[in-house]
Amino acid sequence: MTSTNASAQQIAEDYTRAWMSGDVDQALGFLAEDVVCDAPAGRIEGLAAYRGFLEGFLPKLTGSSITKVLGDDTSAAVVYTTDTTFARDFRAMDYLTVGDGRITRVVTVFDRLPAAQARPRAEG
Amino acid sequence: MTSTNASAQQIAEDYTRAWMSGDVDQALGFLAEDVVCDAPAGRIEGLAAYRGFLEGFLPKLTGSSITKVLGDDTSAAVVYTTDTTFARDFRAMDYLTVGDGRITRVVTVFDRLPAAQARPRAEG
Protein backbone atom coordinates (compact mmCIF):
# COMPACT_ATOMS: atom_id res chain seq x y z
CA MET A 1 0.00 0.00 0.00
CA THR A 2 2.54 2.58 1.04
CA SER A 3 6.26 2.49 1.69
CA THR A 4 8.03 4.25 4.53
CA ASN A 5 9.57 6.51 1.89
CA ALA A 6 6.25 7.77 0.55
CA SER A 7 5.70 11.49 0.95
CA ALA A 8 3.26 12.79 3.53
CA GLN A 9 1.17 14.01 0.61
CA GLN A 10 0.89 10.50 -0.87
CA ILE A 11 0.20 8.88 2.51
CA ALA A 12 -2.48 11.49 3.20
CA GLU A 13 -4.16 10.82 -0.14
CA ASP A 14 -4.01 7.04 0.29
CA TYR A 15 -5.36 7.27 3.84
CA THR A 16 -8.20 9.55 2.74
CA ARG A 17 -9.18 7.30 -0.18
CA ALA A 18 -9.20 4.34 2.21
CA TRP A 19 -11.62 5.87 4.72
CA MET A 20 -13.74 7.36 1.94
CA SER A 21 -14.12 3.86 0.49
CA GLY A 22 -15.37 2.71 3.89
CA ASP A 23 -12.39 0.43 4.53
CA VAL A 24 -11.64 1.10 8.20
CA ASP A 25 -8.83 -1.47 8.48
CA GLN A 26 -7.03 -0.12 5.43
CA ALA A 27 -7.40 3.45 6.71
CA LEU A 28 -6.10 2.54 10.19
CA GLY A 29 -3.07 0.91 8.52
CA PHE A 30 -1.78 4.38 7.65
CA LEU A 31 -1.91 5.57 11.26
CA ALA A 32 0.66 5.23 14.03
CA GLU A 33 -0.34 3.17 17.07
CA ASP A 34 -0.23 6.31 19.25
CA VAL A 35 -1.95 8.63 16.76
CA VAL A 36 -3.47 11.77 18.26
CA CYS A 37 -6.45 13.34 16.54
CA ASP A 38 -7.86 16.74 17.37
CA ALA A 39 -11.43 16.79 16.07
CA PRO A 40 -14.03 19.52 16.67
CA ALA A 41 -15.64 17.51 19.49
CA GLY A 42 -12.33 16.82 21.24
CA ARG A 43 -9.16 14.74 21.26
CA ILE A 44 -9.00 11.10 20.20
CA GLU A 45 -5.89 9.22 21.33
CA GLY A 46 -4.60 5.90 20.02
CA LEU A 47 -5.58 3.55 17.25
CA ALA A 48 -8.40 1.80 19.16
CA ALA A 49 -10.17 5.08 19.93
CA TYR A 50 -9.66 6.21 16.33
CA ARG A 51 -11.28 3.00 15.11
CA GLY A 52 -14.33 3.84 17.19
CA PHE A 53 -14.38 7.37 15.74
CA LEU A 54 -14.23 6.08 12.13
CA GLU A 55 -16.73 3.30 12.75
CA GLY A 56 -19.16 5.83 14.20
CA PHE A 57 -18.73 8.34 11.40
CA LEU A 58 -18.50 6.25 8.23
CA PRO A 59 -22.03 4.76 8.33
CA LYS A 60 -23.40 8.34 8.16
CA LEU A 61 -21.46 9.01 4.96
CA THR A 62 -23.39 8.76 1.68
CA GLY A 63 -20.67 10.27 -0.51
CA SER A 64 -17.30 12.03 -0.44
CA SER A 65 -14.84 13.74 -2.75
CA ILE A 66 -11.25 14.93 -2.47
CA THR A 67 -10.87 18.54 -3.60
CA LYS A 68 -7.09 18.74 -3.13
CA VAL A 69 -4.17 17.22 -1.27
CA LEU A 70 -1.23 19.50 -0.59
CA GLY A 71 1.86 18.47 1.30
CA ASP A 72 5.55 18.26 1.90
CA ASP A 73 7.74 15.52 3.36
CA THR A 74 6.30 15.63 6.85
CA SER A 75 2.76 16.99 6.67
CA ALA A 76 -0.20 17.31 4.35
CA ALA A 77 -3.55 19.04 4.11
CA VAL A 78 -6.53 17.25 2.63
CA VAL A 79 -9.40 19.42 1.42
CA TYR A 80 -12.56 17.41 0.86
CA THR A 81 -16.33 17.35 0.89
CA THR A 82 -18.71 14.80 2.30
CA ASP A 83 -22.38 14.02 1.79
CA THR A 84 -24.42 12.85 4.75
CA THR A 85 -28.12 12.54 5.37
CA PHE A 86 -28.27 16.15 6.63
CA ALA A 87 -25.67 17.98 4.52
CA ARG A 88 -24.45 17.73 0.92
CA ASP A 89 -21.07 18.98 -0.35
CA PHE A 90 -20.12 19.57 3.24
CA ARG A 91 -16.61 21.07 3.39
CA ALA A 92 -13.92 19.72 5.69
CA MET A 93 -10.14 19.70 5.93
CA ASP A 94 -7.62 17.41 7.59
CA TYR A 95 -4.10 18.40 8.50
CA LEU A 96 -1.94 15.29 8.87
CA THR A 97 1.56 14.95 10.28
CA VAL A 98 3.64 11.94 9.25
CA GLY A 99 6.57 10.30 11.00
CA ASP A 100 8.32 7.04 10.01
CA GLY A 101 5.79 6.47 7.24
CA ARG A 102 2.74 6.67 9.48
CA ILE A 103 0.29 9.41 10.31
CA THR A 104 1.02 10.47 13.89
CA ARG A 105 -1.29 13.46 14.19
CA VAL A 106 -4.61 14.39 12.63
CA VAL A 107 -6.24 17.79 12.92
CA THR A 108 -9.76 17.60 11.51
CA VAL A 109 -11.74 20.77 10.97
CA PHE A 110 -15.41 20.96 10.03
CA ASP A 111 -18.51 22.81 11.10
CA ARG A 112 -20.60 20.95 13.69
CA LEU A 113 -23.48 23.41 13.48
CA PRO A 114 -25.43 21.75 10.60
CA ALA A 115 -25.42 18.41 12.45
CA ALA A 116 -26.44 20.08 15.72
CA GLN A 117 -29.30 21.86 13.95
CA ALA A 118 -30.41 18.65 12.19
CA ARG A 119 -30.70 16.83 15.53
CA PRO A 120 -34.18 16.69 17.06
CA ARG A 121 -34.48 19.32 19.77
CA ALA A 122 -34.56 17.09 22.83
CA GLU A 123 -33.54 19.93 25.15
CA GLY A 124 -35.24 23.28 25.76
CA MET B 1 4.24 43.09 -1.31
CA THR B 2 3.87 40.22 -3.75
CA SER B 3 4.78 39.74 -7.37
CA THR B 4 2.63 38.00 -9.94
CA ASN B 5 5.27 35.28 -9.98
CA ALA B 6 4.99 34.45 -6.31
CA SER B 7 3.80 30.93 -5.53
CA ALA B 8 0.31 30.36 -4.22
CA GLN B 9 1.94 29.18 -1.01
CA GLN B 10 3.76 32.50 -0.53
CA ILE B 11 0.70 34.57 -1.45
CA ALA B 12 -1.40 32.53 0.99
CA GLU B 13 1.09 33.11 3.79
CA ASP B 14 1.40 36.84 3.07
CA TYR B 15 -2.39 37.21 2.89
CA THR B 16 -2.84 35.34 6.17
CA ARG B 17 -0.20 37.39 7.98
CA ALA B 18 -1.89 40.56 6.71
CA TRP B 19 -5.36 39.73 8.07
CA MET B 20 -3.89 38.31 11.27
CA SER B 21 -2.14 41.66 11.81
CA GLY B 22 -5.54 43.37 11.46
CA ASP B 23 -4.58 45.18 8.24
CA VAL B 24 -7.75 44.78 6.15
CA ASP B 25 -6.50 46.87 3.20
CA GLN B 26 -3.26 44.92 2.96
CA ALA B 27 -5.16 41.61 3.16
CA LEU B 28 -7.64 42.66 0.47
CA GLY B 29 -4.71 43.59 -1.79
CA PHE B 30 -3.99 39.88 -2.22
CA LEU B 31 -7.51 39.13 -3.45
CA ALA B 32 -8.98 39.33 -6.93
CA GLU B 33 -11.79 41.84 -7.47
CA ASP B 34 -14.24 38.98 -8.12
CA VAL B 35 -13.03 36.73 -5.29
CA VAL B 36 -15.49 34.07 -4.19
CA CYS B 37 -15.34 32.83 -0.60
CA ASP B 38 -17.22 29.82 0.70
CA ALA B 39 -17.41 30.22 4.47
CA PRO B 40 -19.41 28.05 6.89
CA ALA B 41 -22.27 30.58 6.98
CA GLY B 42 -22.47 30.89 3.18
CA ARG B 43 -20.90 32.41 0.10
CA ILE B 44 -19.28 35.84 -0.01
CA GLU B 45 -18.80 37.29 -3.51
CA GLY B 46 -16.58 40.19 -4.50
CA LEU B 47 -14.04 42.36 -2.76
CA ALA B 48 -16.56 44.75 -1.16
CA ALA B 49 -18.49 41.92 0.49
CA TYR B 50 -15.22 40.33 1.60
CA ARG B 51 -14.20 43.62 3.23
CA GLY B 52 -17.41 43.49 5.25
CA PHE B 53 -16.67 39.91 6.27
CA LEU B 54 -13.13 40.76 7.45
CA GLU B 55 -14.20 43.97 9.17
CA GLY B 56 -16.87 42.04 11.05
CA PHE B 57 -14.57 39.22 12.07
CA LEU B 58 -11.26 40.89 12.92
CA PRO B 59 -12.46 42.94 15.92
CA LYS B 60 -13.43 39.63 17.63
CA LEU B 61 -9.90 38.32 17.23
CA THR B 62 -7.63 38.53 20.28
CA GLY B 63 -4.84 36.35 18.86
CA SER B 64 -3.90 34.08 15.99
CA SER B 65 -1.14 31.75 14.88
CA ILE B 66 -0.20 30.01 11.62
CA THR B 67 0.37 26.27 12.14
CA LYS B 68 1.36 25.50 8.55
CA VAL B 69 1.07 26.72 4.98
CA LEU B 70 1.20 24.06 2.26
CA GLY B 71 0.83 24.76 -1.42
CA ASP B 72 1.74 24.42 -5.03
CA ASP B 73 1.73 26.91 -7.92
CA THR B 74 -2.02 27.43 -8.00
CA SER B 75 -3.44 26.66 -4.57
CA ALA B 76 -2.54 26.58 -0.91
CA ALA B 77 -3.89 25.41 2.41
CA VAL B 78 -3.40 27.49 5.54
CA VAL B 79 -3.76 25.71 8.86
CA TYR B 80 -4.14 28.16 11.74
CA THR B 81 -5.61 28.85 15.13
CA THR B 82 -7.38 31.89 16.46
CA ASP B 83 -8.21 33.22 19.90
CA THR B 84 -11.49 35.02 20.43
CA THR B 85 -13.43 36.01 23.51
CA PHE B 86 -15.24 32.63 23.50
CA ALA B 87 -12.62 30.17 22.19
CA ARG B 88 -8.87 29.84 22.54
CA ASP B 89 -6.59 27.90 20.13
CA PHE B 90 -9.58 27.57 17.85
CA ARG B 91 -8.61 25.52 14.79
CA ALA B 92 -9.44 26.64 11.26
CA MET B 93 -8.19 26.06 7.74
CA ASP B 94 -8.35 28.07 4.53
CA TYR B 95 -7.98 26.60 1.07
CA LEU B 96 -6.96 29.34 -1.38
CA THR B 97 -6.84 29.24 -5.17
CA VAL B 98 -4.60 31.74 -6.96
CA GLY B 99 -4.78 33.05 -10.52
CA ASP B 100 -2.67 35.84 -12.06
CA GLY B 101 -1.03 36.51 -8.71
CA ARG B 102 -4.29 37.09 -6.81
CA ILE B 103 -6.44 34.89 -4.62
CA THR B 104 -9.58 34.12 -6.64
CA ARG B 105 -11.25 31.61 -4.33
CA VAL B 106 -11.26 31.07 -0.58
CA VAL B 107 -12.72 28.05 1.14
CA THR B 108 -12.76 28.67 4.89
CA VAL B 109 -13.56 25.82 7.25
CA PHE B 110 -14.15 26.15 10.98
CA ASP B 111 -16.63 24.97 13.57
CA ARG B 112 -19.48 27.41 14.22
CA LEU B 113 -20.81 25.46 17.19
CA PRO B 114 -18.67 27.08 19.94
CA ALA B 115 -19.79 30.55 18.82
CA ALA B 116 -23.43 29.43 18.61
CA GLN B 117 -23.23 27.97 22.11
CA ALA B 118 -21.53 31.10 23.50
CA ARG B 119 -24.35 33.31 22.20
CA PRO B 120 -27.08 34.17 24.70
CA ARG B 121 -30.09 31.92 24.13
CA ALA B 122 -32.51 34.43 22.66
CA GLU B 123 -34.67 31.74 21.12
CA GLY B 124 -36.51 28.91 22.81
In angstroms, the CA B44 to CA B60 distance is 19
In angstroms, the CA B22 to CA B52 distance is 13
Name the pairing type of β-strands B31-39 and B102-109. parallel
B75-123 pLDDT, tens digit per residue, is: 999 999 999 887 889 999 999 999 999 999 999 999 999 888 887 655 4
B positions 2-61 inside 8 Å of A (CB): 38, 40
Contact B113 A112 (CB under 8 A): yes
pLDDT range class, residue A5, cuts 50, 70, 90:
low
A68-111 pLDDT, tens digit per residue, is: 999 998 999 999 999 988 788 999 999 999 999 999 999 999 99
Across the interface, of B77, B110, B124, the residue whose CB is closest to A79 is B77
B65 near A CB under 8 A: no
In angstroms, the CA B96 to CA B1 distance is 18
Name the pairing type of β-strands A31-39 and B90-99. unpaired
Contact B38 A111 (CB under 8 A): no
Using a pLDDT cut of 70, give the percent of chain B over it: 92
Contact B77 A91 (CB under 8 A): no
Neighbours of A124 (CB within 10 A): 6
pLDDT for B3 beyond 50? no
Contact A95 B95 (CB under 8 A): no
CB B75 within 8 A of CB B93: no
Q: Compute the mean pLDDT over every residue in chain B, rounded to the nearest whole number.
A: 91
Please, what is the Cα angle at B6 between B25 and B63, to 5 degrees? 45
Q: Which of B94, B113, B121, B123 to mutate to test the interface with A (most CBs of A within 10 A)?
A: B113
B75 near A CB under 8 A: yes
Across the interface, of B75, B76, B109, the residue whose CB is closest to A109 is B109
Q: What distances in angstroms separate CA B51 from CA A7, A73, A97, B5, B33, one per listed residue?
A: 38, 36, 33, 25, 11
Q: Which range is least confidently modeled, A1-10, A86-95, A103-112, B7-16? A: A1-10
Output the pTM of the full model. 0.91
Contact A70 B77 (CB under 8 A): yes
**What are φ and ψ of residue B112, in 5° steps?**
-80, -10
In angstroms, the CA A106 to CA B67 distance is 13
Contact A116 B116 (CB under 8 A): yes
- Nearest alpha carbon to residue B71 among B50, B93, B52, B38: B93
pLDDT range class, residue B46, cuts 50, 70, 90:
very high
The stretch B49-64 carries a mean pLDDT of 94
A36-66 pLDDT, tens digit per residue, is: 999 999 999 999 999 999 999 899 999 999 9
Across the interface, of A77, A92, A121, the residue whose CB is closest to B79 is A77
Contact B70 A75 (CB under 8 A): yes
B70 near A CB under 8 A: yes
